[in-house]
Structure 1
């Protein structure tokens, strides 16, 4: 009987161990593409002169590091033909800094990136955002009546079509979550952004940022949020390629990923009650 039990245990151990073997499938690796994280943000009440743009490249499926890009030439030109150079590069980070940027509502800005003999451009206009007016909390939300729900209120301007991006970063989560909204059904009225997360509890900190965005960036972020499934945020690896507004003027087939966006923002830190 003891031998029988020992044999069964031995076979069960082998079975469990074999189930934990990691199987890697050989995948075709495409040539790296430029990835542009070009979100210029002008927080209400600040000068907005300190800005940054980050460059990286795509990498293999099994890679645990994201390659950064060095040696690029970056600058942004506004519709008055004034150029702002992102000439200071933080070593080994892919981050390029500008210290004298001048944000102006509804002005058009063109990003230019020159890298490896190719020129990339992107055009976007700076959109204003309605300020956050109030934040409320409901502790009896969700299907079971025990979820924490947080609403961030703002007054949408009348007449003009407006588009919004919401960023929520709770201290208990490693990455932020995002949501988008347009004013088609509440133009000129008070409305709110909605956030809930089963992990948050009383005493947690929640950073809330609301962005004024263009219609095109609204559509871009809507697609990213949709394909991400809302579980890991829009900047996790998507199951499909979503093209942004970066255009390779030298070689269109060697397109870049990412987006150049420029927004006025409003920010609040909220302590969960």
Structure 2
């Protein structure tokens, strides 16, 4: 899942009439694993589309590096009992199906089907992501977050700051008697978070503005994703950090801590929160969320 974030330093160099070579010391940070581990569940499909991309941060001015040599990666999931233990859990072992892609999917070489059936997922199903890399073990835990359907999606004619804008109006009805969080994917790296404090259990409609005009016939795909409070807070922070033209899964701009930890040497899977090594963690977030999507054609 995920857009990964580093601190960006802006340096302004003022040049006089003569040109001098200026050496600038840039920050040097230890490479970190970066996981794009947002899994969207379409309950109309038989299987969940599981794709987890693993990369690694490099030097300050370099691009991220694809990781193709994981020792092991799998998802363990099921319903927890009162002690937080999975009851009759299932495993989904993953593999890099396209060499050099860094994208890990259910491994088709196993004798049993490693795909995750949507029928096996219910509200609050617990999911563990476990992976081993360079003799270190990393783990993340999340719970399945349900969402609601998009009821209407239409193009508006309003503006905020000028004519070079496009308004989308989206409507949905919040689930009653439950504190809900949502993440909206407005395509092209545009995300928005919302929680139902002021519209709990009610129909709700709002406008989203793109700072550009789309050509007639252009397609815009919009999704509403379920979220728990932790994922909502994480995405809200990422969106705030990425303001200024970058989508939250695009360019590293800040080191934002997600829910993936280095658990090497920890023998209790329920107590893994970087005990004794608080600064050693990968970037990214592991989330399994229900998703509803609609596509709009610009007129």
TM-score range, shorter chain: 0.7 to 0.9
Change beyond 3 A, Cα 1:44–1:16: farther
In structure 2, distance between residues paired with 1:167 and 1:97: 23
Instruction: Find the counterpart in structure 2 of residue 62 from structure 1.
Output: 61
In structure 2, distance between residues paired with 1:192 and 1:39: 26
In structure 1, distance between residues paired with 2:140 and 2:127: 8
Given that residues 185 and 222 in structure 2 are in contact (C-alpha distance below 8 angstroms), is that contact kept between their aligned partners in structure 1? yes
Instruction: Find the counterpart in structure 2 of residue 259 from structure 1.
Output: 285
Pairing 1:179–2:216 present = no
In structure 2, distance between residues paired with 1:230 and 1:154: 28
Given that residues 139 and 147 in structure 1 are in contact (C-alpha distance below 8 angstroms), is that contact kept between their aligned partners in structure 2? no
Instruction: Find the counterpart in structure 1 of residue 263 from structure 2.
Output: 249
* Aligned partner of residue 239 in structure 2, secondary structure: helix
In structure 2, distance between residues paired with 1:22 and 1:192: 56
Which sections of structure 2, spanning at least 5 residues, go unmatched?
A: 1-14, 79-87, 107-113, 266-273
CA displacement at 1:215 relative to structure 2: 0.8
Aligned residue among 146, 155, 165 for 2:173: 155
Instruction: Find the counterpart in structure 1 of residue 29 from structure 2.
Output: 30
CA displacement at 1:26 relative to structure 2: 2.7
Q: Which residues in structure 2 correspond to 1:72-83 (within 5 Å)?
A: 72=70, 73-79=72-78, 80-83=88-91
TM-score by length of 2: 0.77
Given that residues 189 and 248 in structure 2 are in contact (C-alpha distance below 8 angstroms), is that contact kept between their aligned partners in structure 1? no
Deviation per CA, 1:80-107: give whole Å up to 9, x if none: 3211111344211111011511341321
User: Which moves more between the two structures, 36-45 or 195-204?
Assistant: 195-204
* Aligned partner of residue 175 in structure 2, secondary structure: coil
Instruction: Find the counterpart in structure 2 of residue 164 from structure 1.
Output: 182
Aligned length: 252
Instruction: Find the counterpart in structure 2 of residue 122 from structure 1.
Output: 140
Given that residues 228 and 236 in structure 1 are in contact (C-alpha distance below 8 angstroms), is that contact kept between their aligned partners in structure 2? no
CA displacement at 1:76 relative to structure 2: 0.6
User: Which moves more between the two structures, 53-62 or 142-151?
Assistant: 142-151
* Aligned partner of residue 30 in structure 2, secondary structure: coil
Q: Name the structure where helix makes up a greater proportion of residues.
A: 1
Q: CA RMSD in A?
A: 2.3
Q: Which has the larger radius of gyration?
A: 1
Deviation per CA, 1:133-188: give whole Å up to 9, x if none: 1012221322447743101211111001111111112xxxxx42111111111011
Instruction: Find the counterpart in structure 2 of residue 43 from structure 1.
Output: 42
